Amino acid sequence: MKLKTRLIIAFLIIILVPVLLFGIVFFGFTHYQISAIERNYGVPISYENMSDSMQVIGKTTQDIFEELKDQAEAEPQRFLDKKYLQDINERLGQKHSFLLVRKDGELYYNGSGQDVAALFNELPVFRRFMSAVDGGSYIGRGVQAFVKQLDLDLENADVSVFLVSSVREIISQTRRLLRDLILSVVVILVFTAFLMIVWIYTGIHTPLQKLSEATHRVKEEDFDFELEAKGHDEISELFRDFDDMRQRLKDLDEEKKAFDRQSKELISNISHDLKTPITAVKGYVEGIMDGVADTPEKMDRYIRTIYIKANDMDRLINELTFYSKIDTNRIPYNFNKLDVAEYFDDCAEEVGLEMRERNIVFSYINTVEIGTLIIADAEQLKRVINNIIGNSVKYMDKAKQYVQLRVMDIGDFIQVEIEDNGKGIPNKDIAAIFDRFYRTDQSRNSAQGGSGIGLSIVKKIIEDHGGRIWATSKVGEGTVMHFEIRKYQEAVYE
């Protein structure tokens, strides 16, 4: 929710919610009190006559008063029968009222069960005729009672019958209503304030607190968290922007760590790879200097070995140079039409000489028709073959070693396969061997050397030629490297 919208809603809530809730509470309490009065006094109450409490009290005993009037006309002597008076008083008790009877100025019957001297002294005087004050009269001072009077002029006595209703009870209920309304106003205001505090706290303060914690974690270079933004308000947009920044910083940090790790690994591998041939060259040169190579055959073997080791170092330096160009996408390609048969015949001849020097059996099969062409960079494609074969030779583990180069026609592509009988590659590693710096066995590879970038260079070159490369292998039997390059076809115009 937008901050502006949130403030407008907060303003409306502060005004409308207390008014609405107070209205609901007011009608609820008054309805409850009216229902309570109707239950206690047995008269229907409305909001109109609720304001006239005397009218309400008068109605509560009106039915009994009408009955007494009828009885006074029919059989007035019954008002001296205390059993009859007791029955009437019990009915009045259900309406929070009681019966008083005065005879010849003296208290004849007291239905309240309490001292009514103060009330008795305030009662209206006897009238010398039969009368009924239907409306009743209110007696204030300390009594606070509503009295209906029925005067009877009997032959032998003056009798006044009073229906007394306590005003204190109705006033008490009114006071409770007022108290409840005041309490409800306080509760509504407190509730509204609490609601606004919680809403503002969760809507503004809590997100800012989360953002502050996230900023602190970024400051400490801890990027392994996520700020969830579910809405479309300003704070949610800020969360999304911050989380995007965090993700970019995390990616940069991971790339930096990976680069540092790979750089250290590369330096270690290169140092090992350079140290091995340099040590060999130094050893053979010292042998020549010390006269160990005292025959032409030994001298020729020493020189050839030095030449091979120098080639290894040259190849390694070339890989490093090429690796730097891969990272900047500045590989110098020189694409030309190549005759597949001629090109791979030359490659096989060159590779065969090197394999013989290493006492490795090398075979070559080319089933592609003469005149088949591809568009390729001759130098970079030769780098692919040399890197694959060099990698195969590095992991030979058998007494009799062989490498076979096969070139086949598979329709629109030529497919090249280089097979060896090395130790093979486990299935779990086969998909990752073309990743940069990946080596299947760290301990064995560190002993045998290898920068870990040879096959990644191969993959890059083949993909830049529009081809693809993959490997199949069986542990203990050997590995076959496959790559495809599309054949060149002249465009035909009709």
SS3 content of the chain, % helix, strand, coil (to 5): 55, 15, 25
- The reply to whether 348 and 435 lie within a common domain is yes
Residue at a domain's end among 116, 147, 169:
169
Residue at a domain's end among 144, 169, 194:
169
How confident is the model at residue 449, as a pLDDT?
A: 47
Contact 448, 439 (CB under 8 A): no
- The reply to whether 384 and 445 lie within a common domain is yes
Interatomic CA distance for residues 243 and 226, integer angstroms? 7
- The reply to whether 26 and 111 lie within a common domain is no
How confident is the model at residue 437, as a pLDDT?
A: 64
- The reply to whether 24 and 41 lie within a common domain is yes
- The reply to whether 342 and 421 lie within a common domain is yes
How confident is the model at residue 447, as a pLDDT?
A: 42
CA 18 from centre of chain: 35
CATH of the domain at 337: 3.30.565.10
User: What domain count does the chain have?
Assistant: 3
- Residue 243 resides in a domain: no
Residue at a domain's end among 169, 187, 216:
169
- Residue 422 resides in a domain: yes
Q: What is the pTM of this model?
A: 0.46
Q: In this structure, are strands 468-474 and 402-409 parallel, antiparallel, or unpaired?
A: unpaired
CA distances from 406 to 218, 339, 359, 423 (A): 55, 16, 20, 20
How confident is the model at residue 363, as a pLDDT?
A: 94
- The reply to whether 385 and 478 lie within a common domain is yes
Determine the structural domain holding residue 113 and report its residue range. 77-169
- The reply to whether 357 and 446 lie within a common domain is yes
How confident is the model at residue 430, as a pLDDT?
A: 87
How confident is the model at residue 467, as a pLDDT?
A: 93
Interatomic CA distance for residues 10 and 266, integer angstroms? 62
- The reply to whether 353 and 449 lie within a common domain is yes
- The reply to whether 200 and 341 lie within a common domain is no
- The reply to whether 144 and 132 lie within a common domain is yes
- The reply to whether 37 and 126 lie within a common domain is no
How confident is the model at residue 445, as a pLDDT?
A: 44
- Residue 370 resides in a domain: yes
CA distances from 439 to 448, 450, 456 (A): 11, 9, 11
In the chain (494 residues long), the average pLDDT of successive 10-residue segments reads: 66 72 70 62 52 64 87 88 91 85 90 85 71 59 78 84 77 68 78 76 77 87 80 78 88 82 70 78 87 85 86 76 66 87 93 88 92 92 90 86 94 93 88 73 46 79 92 92 89 52
How confident is the model at residue 33, as a pLDDT?
A: 62
How confident is the model at residue 410, as a pLDDT?
A: 92
